[in-house]
Amino acid sequence: MRWMLALLGAAVPFVAIAQRPQPPTYPATARGGEVDEIAGVRVPDPYHWLESISSPPVAAWVSAQNATTESFLAHVPRRAEIRDLVGRVWNYPKFSAPFVAGDRLFFFENTGLANQPVLYVRDKPELVPRVLLDPNAFSQDGLIAIVDQAASPDGRYLAYAVSTEGSAWRDVRVRDVKSSQDLSDELHGIKDSPLAWTFDSRGFFYVHTDAARKDAAGNPLAPDGRQQVMYHRVGQVQTRDQLIFEEPQHPDWRLHAEVSNDGQYLVITARVGASPQNRLYFVDLDNPGRPHLTAPLVTLFSDPDAAYDFVASDGPFFFIRTTHGAPRGKLVVIDINTPDESHWTTLVRETYDPLVAAIRVDDRIVVHRIHDAHSSLEVYAFDGTTHGPIALPGVGTVSQLSADPANRRFYYAFSSFLQPPTVYSYDLENRTATAQHALPPDSALSRFETTQLFYTSKDGTRVPMFITTARDVKLDGNRPTLLVGGGGFGQARTPAFSPQVIAWLELGGIYAVANVRGGGEYGRAWHEAATGTRYQTAINDIIAAAQFLVDQRYTRAAELAIGGQGSAGLLAAAAMTERPDLFGAALLDAPITDMARFDRFTGGAAWISEYGSPARASDLNALLAYSPLENVKLGDSYPATMLTVGARDEIATPVHSYELAAALQNAQRGPSPILLRVDYGVGSGPATPIGRAVAKAADQLAFLVSALHVTR
């Protein structure tokens, strides 16, 4: 492809580095004597003052840290060329899988380096797509992003959610698709909520986070409040929205609302925090054209003993993906009038490969499974008869499944470590997949290859790992290598395309992904093996992966970096503080680091189901045993470490990065730098403007080049 061919001609030809940046002089950081008593245990909190993240002293400290980091990076040879390389790699067309409403088809496109993708609509099949929403026009620097959207069933309206400066909180607006003008509707108090239209196209359901978070302006770390399912009628003010469901006695329940494919049912999922197990309710709206919004709520599953995910309905029959009696997942059909398990019909049985998702497309069910940490698709009829697998382009990841029942087709995106996301349309009649907006062959990427292999962890468990390298790599133990692991929460870490990784490969690096326990690669048991008091299992897995890379002569400890973002950043930080001798560098992007207090900040309490509760003595002991912040030891020699975080990150809040950076800088005995890079006005996730993402990725790679003494 053109962008990769240009990259080949301008790859950065590193030669031996004559001089390295000198260790920085860190800003003065006050240490207090604060001590928290948690579950009867006294836990020191010397950097408690950094939790006042909006205060002038913290702002001054952050500014000084940024200045230190910038001064260090400014002395990295060829930093500007690395930035140019990353920008070129990022400059390729990007498309989303389309979604259909009425006669209209909607999709996002970014032609290259625009800060935010543009939403297009094609009004009829024979017409050329036109711009419906361009978020780049909302702000000059791309700090206003569209983070969710849903078209009304008739295609007349588009409800869309915007995030400002990376906030996890979003405002919802409604646009008239024909005129491309917004209506007066504006909704607030929404966080990570889908928008589900009723079939009369007059309104939609959403989840509102309770106003108990009223002190957020004064305390950005205030915990989230309880949630309510609401219904908004187009054209009305939000104060007139109708309350559909709430559970005041359970403020920790996280809610999700969706409307069935036929418009007859509102389906509500309730789970405690981030737990994969859930309760399931529904409301029979009766007539989709005139929905009965005050119909009674019906409990389908009141015991959260397993996952119960609504897939589709067919009259009174619900298709449910569940782990009940099937830890790797199965698809069952349930008559809502007789929902007892004895009356279930298994449509797709449990197999070795976990069943992670399914969609209905006309009279077919498309099933998404994970096989040894990569995707597979298969089509089934309603009677359980298989219509065979769908051939995928290789070992990679399927995402963005969306149906177009009227044309008996569905769309999906496929990507791998070496293939940018490509959208495919699959025709159920002809059983053919067609690439939409296909990119030219990537001859530059053909110089690299991905290999999956398995290594043995501390307890003898066989763990998969992907390694991406140049095809002609020689295993002489001298290759700079970046290792990352999974982030837990039952989510499989499958192959994903990253321009930053491609740039790292161009610089001569190796990229390794370890599918440690805690993810969903092999179902519920694989996840639960590293949850709660068992989290050390995931740490053991990633340490074993690092040791494997050294033993097999891919690299050596001095040239091995460990990295991760968010919950995967916790894994990396825990491994680095436990075995600092095993790594030459660490890249920690918005990591979770204070496991004694994580439940106090924003949505952190939702993670108790994953990590355990600091308020329980047994859980706290396990948390303190690996918590990165609590395990920084004065006088130890730690690898070169760069912490990056967005100042507006309301998920893995900046306080985690601030306090770990302060602790490491204070404890560091060796010469390796400990740097903190804070990006103002952004949070985390896909809302980040591409310009900011490119700048951060380039700085991270420049840091690695320096820390690992890259000589190519």
Which CATH number fits the domain that encloses residue 634? 3.40.50.1820
Residue matched to tokens 């279930």:
344
Q: Which two tokens stand for residue 288?
A: 């989709």
Q: For residue 207, give the H/E element and its range.
A: strand 203-209
Are 397 and 475 found together in one domain?
no
Are 518 and 598 found together in one domain?
yes
Q: Which two tokens stand for residue 450?
A: 């991905």
Predicted confidence at residue 710, as pLDDT, reads 86
Rounded average pLDDT per 10-residue block, the chain, 712 residues: 34 40 88 96 97 96 98 94 96 95 97 97 96 95 95 98 92 98 97 94 95 55 91 98 96 96 97 96 96 97 97 97 98 97 97 98 97 98 96 97 93 96 95 86 85 98 98 93 97 97 97 98 98 98 98 98 98 98 98 97 94 98 98 97 95 96 96 97 87 97 95 68
Are 555 and 635 found together in one domain?
yes
- Where are the extended beta strands (E) located within 382-522? 386-390, 397-404, 409-416, 419-427, 432-436, 448-456, 462-470, 481-485, 510-514
Are 417 and 454 found together in one domain?
no
Q: Is residue 245 part of a domain?
A: no
Q: Pick from 384, 334, 350, 335: which is nearest to 364 by CA?
A: 384
Are 405 and 546 found together in one domain?
no
Q: Pick from 68, 57, 31: which is nearest to 703 by CA?
A: 68
Predicted confidence at residue 21, as pLDDT, reads 62
Are 583 and 520 found together in one domain?
yes
Task: List the domain range (segments joined by +) for residue 381.
Answer: 351-438
Q: For residue 550, give the H/E element and its range.
A: helix 536-551
Residue matched to tokens 């995707």:
375
Strand pairing category for 560-565 and 585-589: parallel
Q: Give the span between the Cα atoms of 671 and 669, in whole angstroms.
A: 7
Q: Is residue 340 part of a domain?
A: no
Q: Is residue 197 part of a domain?
A: no
Q: Is residue 516 part of a domain?
A: yes
Query: What is the pTM (predicted TM-score) of this model?
Result: 0.95
Q: Is residue 96 part of a domain?
A: no
Q: What is the DSSP letter of 25?
A: P
Are 566 and 601 found together in one domain?
yes
- State which of 407, 438, 469 marks the end of a domain: 438
Predicted confidence at residue 438, as pLDDT, reads 72
For 147, phi and psi rounded to 5 degrees?
Answer: -115, -5
For 521, phi and psi rounded to 5 degrees?
Answer: -60, -35
Q: What is the DSSP letter of 51?
A: G
Residues with Cβ within 8 Å of 376's Cβ and at least 6 positions away in sequence, in order, are 353, 368, 369, 370, 389, 392
Q: For residue 132, give the H/E element and its range.
A: strand 130-133
Q: Give the span between the Cα atoms of 415 and 403, in whole angstroms.
A: 19
Are 434 and 471 found together in one domain?
no
Are 414 and 462 found together in one domain?
no
Predicted confidence at residue 20, as pLDDT, reads 56
Are 375 and 454 found together in one domain?
no
- State which of 417, 438, 459 marks the end of a domain: 438
Predicted confidence at residue 11, as pLDDT, reads 37
HEC states along 609-645?
Answer: HHHCCCCCHHHHHHHHHHCCHHHCCCCCCCCEEEEEE
- End-to-end Cα separation, the chain, in angstroms: 24
Tell me which amino acid residue 626 is.
Answer: Y
HEC states along 167-196?
Answer: CCEEEEEEEECCCCEEEEEEEEEEECCCCE
Are 588 and 491 found together in one domain?
yes
Look at the chain and report how many structural domains it folds into: 2
- State which of 405, 438, 471 marks the end of a domain: 438
Q: Give the span between the Cα atoms of 646 and 589, in whole angstroms.
A: 9
Sign of the torsion formed by the C-alpha atoms of 619, 622, 624 and 628: negative
Q: Is residue 261 part of a domain?
A: no
HEC states along 239-280?
Answer: HHCEEEEECCCCCCEEEEEEECCCCCEEEEEEEECCCCCCEE
Q: Is residue 574 part of a domain?
A: yes
Q: Is residue 425 part of a domain?
A: yes
Are 479 and 410 found together in one domain?
no
